Amino acid sequence: MTELRHLQTRGRRLAYRHRAGRGPTLVFLPGYMSDMDGSKATALDAWAEAQGRAMLRFDYAGCGLSDGRFEDQGLADWRDDALAMIDSVAQGPVVLVGSSMGGWLMLLAAIARPERVEGLVGIAAAPDFTDWGFTDAQKAELREKGRVEEISPYSDAPYVTTRTFWESGESLKLLDREVAIDCPVRLLHGTADADVPWRLSLTLMEMLRSADMQTQLVKGGDHRLSRPEDIALLIATVATLLERP
């Protein structure tokens, strides 16, 4: 395992693990309430090590081993964390791999750093989920009470969304217009995803400006796409993207 390091940015320390190697650097962007030690991130890192490729994993502020309170963070804060990692830790071009909310962040980062981002791989990418992922009643509760708590299928801890995060996400929605990204994009999505509808990847495919774009649906795959065969597909997709002319 690579050494745990910290980047000081905007008054707080972000934890990360970075391995030098052949570029472009793979940068993994975790999902909501996740961190850099998830199964997909670590499996991709192990593959990158075996291939001698550069890889960067990190925790957003308030997540994992990074400083900050989770409930104080907005989507814009985590976008800025990703940009700080790209700007200060990764060297040269990058390929971003985003899981769920990380798929939204990879799009925002690619728009902000088009000269650095050479490719995107989304795993159940969830852009604009502050819009389509909440009922009208939940949105009213967020406005009035400042938070919504839901039972999480992945953890004993409740799934908490704050008004800070929700309002930040609403200000960064992408799918109401063409998404100005031109680099190659690969999307993976399970048809049994109970959290992010797989048809969203088809919508994203239509809205992205890139002409080099592919979407692969995994029959029976759930939201996490973390079964051995799913991870093998992720690695094969990343490898093929990196090897393209």
Rounded to the nearest 10 degrees, how much is the dihedral formed by the CA atoms of 176, 63, 117, 245? Answer: -110
138 found inside a domain: no
81 given a catalytic annotation: no
Spatial distance between the Cα atoms of 177 and 200, rounded to a whole number of angstroms: 14
Confidence at residue 31, expressed as pLDDT on a 0 to 100 scale: 96
CA atoms 47, 50, 51, 55: torsion sign? positive
> Could you tell me the pTM of the whole model?
0.96
Q: Indicate whether 179 pLDDT > 80.
A: yes
Confidence at residue 152, expressed as pLDDT on a 0 to 100 scale: 75
The confidence band for 155, taking pLDDT boundaries of 50, 70 and 90, is confident
Counting the structural domains of the chain, the total is 1
Confidence at residue 11, expressed as pLDDT on a 0 to 100 scale: 86
166 found inside a domain: no
Q: Which residue of the set 100, 168, 201, 230 is catalytic? A: 100
39 given a catalytic annotation: no
The confidence band for 47, taking pLDDT boundaries of 50, 70 and 90, is very high
Q: Indicate whether 167 pLDDT > 90.
A: yes
Q: Which residue of the set 45, 80, 193, 195 is catalytic? A: 193
69 found inside a domain: yes
What is the mean predicted confidence (pLDDT) over 60-82? 97
Q: What pLDDT, in 10s, does the model give residues 97-112?
A: 999 999 999 999 999 9
The confidence band for 10, taking pLDDT boundaries of 50, 70 and 90, is confident
Other C-beta atoms within 10 Å of 192: how many?
Answer: 11
Does residue 134 contact residue 167 with C-beta atoms inside 8 Å?
Answer: no
Spatial distance between the Cα atoms of 78 and 62, rounded to a whole number of angstroms: 9
226 found inside a domain: yes
Q: Which residues contact 92 (CB under 8 A, 6 or more apart)?
A: 23, 24, 25, 116
199 found inside a domain: yes
Confidence at residue 42, expressed as pLDDT on a 0 to 100 scale: 97
Q: What pLDDT, in 10s, does the model give residues 115-131?
A: 999 999 999 999 999 99
CATH label of the domain that carries residue 90: 3.40.50.1820
What is the mean predicted confidence (pLDDT) over 52-61? 98
Spatial distance between the Cα atoms of 224 and 189, rounded to a whole number of angstroms: 9
The confidence band for 45, taking pLDDT boundaries of 50, 70 and 90, is very high
Q: What pLDDT, in 10s, does the model give residues 206-220?
A: 999 999 999 999 999
Provide the residue range defining the domain that includes 21: 4-128+180-243
128 given a catalytic annotation: no
Q: How many residues are given for the chain?
A: 245
73 found inside a domain: yes
237 found inside a domain: yes
What does the mean pLDDT of the chain come to? 96
Confidence at residue 24, expressed as pLDDT on a 0 to 100 scale: 97
Confidence at residue 151, expressed as pLDDT on a 0 to 100 scale: 80
113 found inside a domain: yes
Spatial distance between the Cα atoms of 122 and 193, rounded to a whole number of angstroms: 14
3-state secondary structure the chain: CCCEEEEEECCEEEEEEEECCEEEEEEEECCCCCCCCCHHHHHHHHHHHHHCEEEEEECCCCCCCCCCCHHHCCHHHHHHHHHHHHHHCCCCCEEEEEECHHHHHHHHHHHHCCCCEEEEEEECCCCCHHHHCCCHHHHHHHHHHCEEEECCCCCCCCEEEEHHHHHHHHCCCCCCCCECCCCCEEEEEECCCCCCCCHHHHHHHHHECCCCEEEEEECCCCCCCCCHHHHHHHHHHHHHHHHCC
